[in-house]
Amino acid sequence: MKFAPKPENDFRRFYELYYAECRKRFPRIAAIAAKWRFEDLIPGLSDFDTRFIVQDGMTVQDWCDMSEVVGQVHLDMCIRYPHWARNLEHLPGINLTWAELTTPATYYPEYPQWTFYDTADPPRLVEAQRYLRERAWSAQDEFFHLKKFCLFYGRYNRTIDPAVNLGPYENKYPLHSRFMHYFCPPLQSALCILLKRPVAGKMETARLACKMFAEPVFKEMLATVERHYEVPGLYVEPALTQLEDRLEAALEMLRRRLAPELTLIPKAQEKGITEWKAALNAAPISPVMRVFDAARFCRLMKGRLRFYGRAPAHFDSIWPIENELLRFKRNFFDVPFGICWEAQTGEKVKEPVNVLDRIAEGLFTPEELRCTREFVRLTPGHWEAGRQKQIALEIADVFDGFFSALTKVTNRVSELSQKRSIACA
């Protein structure tokens, strides 16, 4: 099996240029962070999971403008630097103001795991990092990490993570996908729960696992990544299936180790993963955080869709579009609007679209309601082959109005939750 040599690590050059371009076009961007540490970025295989921090006081229109601008940066850089197609695969995921990053009511357990690469406001960043570092472990952290562990638990699904925009490094992706995309995240979350603290970074996760557990698969993962996946024997059968066996067994070992440590699931040792998931669905997590967890990527989604719909020929955007279309309706509409209806009436609703007019009454403008209806129509979870780019652009055309309605729904849930908390105090 022939491998393309490990390429130069130019992630620093990439993110410095990317950050500068985005700030030049939208000066309210104040810091760039990423989901992973620099050592976790594998040249030729990793994308750059960016997070932006912006100045306080952002309006709905400001977020819409920023979304458009950052999407155009992706398009321009993708055309100018085709070798960075993988780095540019998606716009920043979670995007926050400084106040949202440091307010307990809007805390999200992913934040302490971020790496901050640059900022235009160093004192504010120091303040934010101190807040995140000093925050005590809580049930909210356990819920987040246990939910992630349960999501990834089980056998690797060979159909779920296709190789996209990898060029000459595509034949290394089977191992990168298994180790770094689908084994390391639940391992990291398991360590967070066991240690009762955030663990930042995939390589740090692997090193900690090597110290904490006797199973050789953890050292195997670390050694394979360090060799840039140039381990020919692992790509052929039955070796690949046997690797999946080892990874699945390690997750089961972690599940058994986690069980006595859990506070959210009574008698977890006596229950299986299906019962764990059911217990998490019933856990007393605030409606505000459930809405945020579902809709956390919405702020720059219009720009992402415009980029995908207009991407140059060398950038494969079909699978990324399909991936978004599979989850759009549930994450951006069903969950937030359903929670809003429940917060208003105390009733659960299976199809929030059936009560959309009643949710919208006195809350949405006619244009927001129109755009919301169109968003729901365009995102049924299936699509006509060959129309993916057109659908992405059609959703982008109504996204501003829909995002405005979604923001009002989010605010309504927050207001009702606060009133309920005061009433119960």
Residue 1's nearest CA partner among 171, 168, 223, 165 is 171
Structure tokens belonging to residue 202: 């995939």
32 and 146 share one domain = no
Identify the pLDDT of residue 284: 84
391 and 277 share one domain = no
Instruction: Indicate whether 378 belongs to any domain.
Output: yes
| Gyration radius of the chain's alpha carbons | 22
Q: Which residues of 304-330 are buried (b: 16+ CB within 10 A; e: fewer)?
A: bbbbbbbbeeebbbeebbbebbeebbe
Tell me which of 100, 119, 135 is where a domain ends.
135
Identify the pLDDT of residue 91: 96
Distance (Å, whole) CA 5 – CA 44: 10
Identify the pLDDT of residue 421: 63
Instruction: Indicate whether 287 belongs to any domain.
Output: no
Identify the pLDDT of residue 424: 52
225 and 318 share one domain = no
Number of folded domains that form the chain:
3
Instruction: Indicate whether 268 belongs to any domain.
Output: yes
> 118 — phi, psi (to 5°)?
-165, 155
- Global pTM reads 0.94
Tell me which of 85, 105, 135 is where a domain ends.
135
Residue 286's nearest CA partner among 108, 36, 26, 46 is 108
Distance (Å, whole) CA 308 – CA 306: 5
Residues for the chain: how many in total? 425
116 and 150 share one domain = no
Identify the pLDDT of residue 69: 98
249 and 356 share one domain = no
412 and 372 share one domain = yes
End-to-end CA distance of the chain: 66
Taking residue 87's Cβ as centre, other Cβ atoms within 10 Å add up to 22
Residue 48's nearest CA partner among 82, 22, 10 is 10
Residue 107's nearest CA partner among 340, 263, 336, 293 is 293
Instruction: Indicate whether 95 belongs to any domain.
Output: yes
Residue 162's nearest CA partner among 170, 151, 153, 154 is 170
Distance (Å, whole) CA 399 – CA 372: 8
Residue 54's nearest CA partner among 300, 295, 292, 288 is 300
100 and 163 share one domain = no
Distance (Å, whole) CA 337 – CA 334: 6
Mind listing the pLDDT tens digit of every residue in the chain (425 residues)?
A: 899 999 999 999 999 999 999 999 999 999 999 999 999 999 999 999 999 999 999 999 999 999 999 999 999 999 999 999 999 999 999 999 999 999 998 999 999 999 999 999 999 999 999 999 999 999 999 999 999 999 999 999 999 999 999 999 999 999 999 999 999 999 999 999 999 999 999 999 999 999 999 999 999 999 999 999 999 999 999 999 999 999 999 999 999 999 999 999 999 999 999 999 999 988 888 999 999 999 999 999 999 999 999 999 999 999 999 999 999 999 999 999 999 999 999 999 999 999 999 999 999 999 999 999 999 999 999 999 999 999 999 999 999 999 999 999 999 999 998 877 655 55
Task: Report the alpha-carbon angle 134-137-140, nearest 5.
Answer: 125
pLDDT in tens, 291-312: 999 999 999 999 999 999 999 9
Identify the pLDDT of residue 403: 98
CA distances from 23 to 27, 118, 119, 312, 386 (A): 5, 11, 10, 23, 35
172 and 265 share one domain = yes
Which burial class, exposed, middle or buried, applies to 340 when counting CB atoms under 10 A from its CB (0-12, 13-18, 19+)?
buried
Cα 218 → chain centroid: 24
> Helix or strand or coil: residue 316?
coil
Instruction: Indicate whether 297 belongs to any domain.
Output: no
Instruction: Indicate whether 299 belongs to any domain.
Output: no
123 and 240 share one domain = no
Distance (Å, whole) CA 243 – CA 301: 36
Taking residue 98's Cβ as centre, other Cβ atoms within 10 Å add up to 20
Tell me which of 84, 102, 135 is where a domain ends.
135
For the chain, give percent helix, strand, coil, nearest 5. 65, 5, 30
126 and 2 share one domain = yes
Domain assignment of residue 269, given as a range: 139-281
193 and 126 share one domain = no
243 and 340 share one domain = no
Identify the pLDDT of residue 282: 87
Instruction: Indicate whether 293 belongs to any domain.
Output: no
Instruction: Indicate whether 99 belongs to any domain.
Output: yes
| CB-based contact 287:409 (threshold 8 Å) | no
> Helix or strand or coil: residue 353?
helix
